[in-house]
Amino acid sequence: MLRRKPFVVAGVFTLIGVIVGLGVSSHFNFQTKGYTGERGVSQEAIDILSKTNEAVSEVVAAVKPAVVNVSSTKTVKRGGVPAPFFNDPFFKRFFGDEFGSFGDQRGYKQSGLGSGVIVDRAGYILTNNHVIRGAEEIKVTLSDKREFKGRVIGADRKTDLAVIKIDTDDLPVIKLGDSDILKTGEMVLAVGNPFGLNQTVTSGMVSATGRANVGVADYEDFIQTDAPINPGNSGGALVNIRGELVGINTAIFSTTGGYQGIGFAIPSNMAKAVMESLIKKGKVVRGWLGVTIQQLTPELAKQFNLEDKAGVLVGDVVESGPAEKAGIERGDLIVEFGGKEVTDATNLRNMVAGTAPNSEVDVKVLRNKKPKTVRVKISEMPSEEQILSKTFDNHLKGVNIQDVTPSLRKSLNIPGRIIGVVITDVDDESPAAGILTRSDVIMEINRNRIADVKEYEQTLSGIKPDESILLLIFRKGSSLYITLPAR
């Protein structure tokens, strides 16, 4: 507004000058088509917009008290002792916590801010795993400024969800909505604490549902929204016009670190299932089919003489697993699971994971172009179903990796020329913590090229605990060498 005032004022005086120059009396009645001397907003329009404003305000008033600030503190290690002035927030903002360090590795306190949603009057709060991961202390601040010490009930890295609890009762809660009926175009509100600004509300719409291959978690079925979500919103609420929780705000797509119109939330139905499992069993129990699957491409469809473009192809069947016992074979095309159409590999994976172990499900497959339905008794997923690195007693201990799949290459923007293994997780106690990070691609170890998990493990098995390690990694569009020095 300040920049426009000189322009507006200058325009007014120019108009008056023209009128006076034409000999028009200083007392005039200037009127053109559509201009009446007033704003011209009809009372009907004002009434409609007023009702809309009142409705949105009512929803906000109902849900805001149940959205909390979650502050976590943990001790992390980094190389060096920082010079005193590098603790200034100004330097940390522009150069990062690691800038200016030197000397031996020391421990220091690191704080994190996020959001949470109270979903039970007994004090259970839903948030993101990455908000409280590794936390030694958790502080929960309510909308009325009361503060409580939070404790972790359970966390699930594969969905990036966590449940914490505060010891109080009679709390405001948000009713859980049915995210399965959420439609593209619906209006939603995001409530959280972006950049530590408590109780911030933004609005938008559902841009898409069922988003996967984002690269945030192992199990992804995200709601995409254009409601502004910024750092600190993680763990906050995405609510519909009925004031129901339909998602847990989790991530943004950004090249700058700030909001760019694309945000992602974990559907409330997935969050509810994970929460109930964590509270009742202390872990997330998932269903397991016992197959290796892959997306059906036009080339594969042609090779297998398949006309259908929907479904997923069975690449392998685990020996003595549920699928093998039911008669599913390598080369089968799974087109239905439990009466629901299978659209892609992520879709099937989520449906299987959400099925209770020991449940019997009808699975429809195409074998030699002929339909066949088998009944499968779903088992509980083994604890290490995903391909992760073995434990090695050296500086890469606690670094979990997997092969670079086509979906990961696409979601993480890894160029085709980059060959290696992608880091899926780094344990807080790993010697590489703070140096390597999730989504880094390890291309070389001690000048040895790494093409896959097998070569990674073979190379790592020959490195001793006291040896330094030279890595060539790909990170955020660039290749760089990193040293894990001997201690």
Q: How many Cα atoms within 13 Å fall on the side-chain side of residue 288? A: 18
Question: Residue 395 catalytic?
Answer: no
Please count the residues of the chain. Answer: 487
> Within the chain, how many helices (H) and strands (E) appear?
10, 27
| Identified catalytic residue from 71, 72, 160, 379 | 160
Catalytic: 160? yes
- String of DSSP letters for 172-236: ----B--GGG--TT-EEEEEE-GGG-TTEEEEEEEEEEEE---SS-SS--EEEE-S---TT-TT-
Of the candidates 130, 268, 277, 439, the residue annotated as catalytic is: 130
| One-letter-per-residue 3-state SS of 340-387 | EECCCHHHHHHHHHCCCCCCEEEEEEEECCEEEEEEEECEECCCCCCC
β-strand partners of 441: 422, 474
47-52: long-range pairs with CB below 8 Å, 24+: none
Nearest to 64 by CA among 184, 165, 144: 144
Pick the catalytic residue from 72, 234, 277, 389. 234
- Please list, in sequence order, all residues whose beta carbon lies within 8 angstroms of the beta carbon of residue 461, skipping any fewer than 6 positions away: 392
CA–CA distance, 336 with 348 (Å, rounded to integer): 9
Q: Token match 């990674």: residue?
A: 456
Q: Are 414 and 403 in contact (CB under 8 A)?
A: no
**How many whole angstroms separate alpha carbon 56 and alpha carbon 454?**
55
How far is residue 411's CA from residue 386's CA, in Å, rounded to a whole number? Answer: 18
Task: Tell me if residue 389 falls in helix, strand or coil.
Answer: coil
Catalytic (active-site) positions: 130, 160, 234
